[in-house]
Structure 1
Amino acid sequence: MGSDSANWHLLEMRTQWGSSSPKGKLLLNPNLVKAATRCVDYVILHKLCHLQE
């Protein structure tokens, strides 16, 4: 997604797998690693799409 890499961090969240900010910051729930690989891929791709839009 362009030449810039995403700024990402791990943060435990009660109700979300991840979050993204307009400034390009991605927050991923560390509990996401317990989900199926397809789910992890979906969450990360979904958050990257938010950054692109």
Structure 2
Amino acid sequence: MESPADAELRADTLGVLLRSGVEANQAAEVAGYSGLRFTGDPVALRETVQP
């Protein structure tokens, strides 16, 4: 089992690769997540702030 720090590093790596335009399956392979299935475009959930 990997440490929480290692899991965070892999997740951060995947996010950076996806945001930089690397194809999702290739990014997952590089980050060490083989066999992931992507269902669509990545999304970011953010709280909206009313002015």
Q: Point out the structure with the larger helix share.
A: 2
Mark the structure with the bigger radius of gyration: 2
Q: TM-score range by the shorter chain?
A: 0.3 to 0.5
**TM-score normalised by length of structure 2:** 0.32
Higher relative contact order (CA 8 A, sep 6+): 1
Higher share in strand = 1
Q: What's the TM-score once normalised by structure 1's chain length?
A: 0.31
